[in-house]
Amino acid sequence: MRKRHGSRWPIVFLTCMVSVPAVAALMGYYGPTPTLDAAKPALVAGGLLGLAHLFLRPVLRVVFAPLGCLTLGLFGMVIDVGLLYGSSLLVNGFEVPGLAYAVITALVINGVCAITTGRR
pLDDT tens across the length of the chain (120 residues) = 455 555 778 888 888 888 888 888 888 777 777 778 878 888 898 899 989 988 999 999 999 999 999 999 899 999 999 999 999 899 998 888 889 888 988 898 888 878 877 765
Residue-level pLDDT at 9: 84
Q: Quote the pTM value.
A: 0.83
Task: Sketch the domain layout of the chain as residue ranges.
Answer: 9-117
Residue-level pLDDT at 120: 53
CA dihedral defined by 70, 74, 75, 78, rounded to 10 degrees? -160
3 state SS of 78? helix
Cα-trace Rg, the chain: 15
Residue-level pLDDT at 1: 47
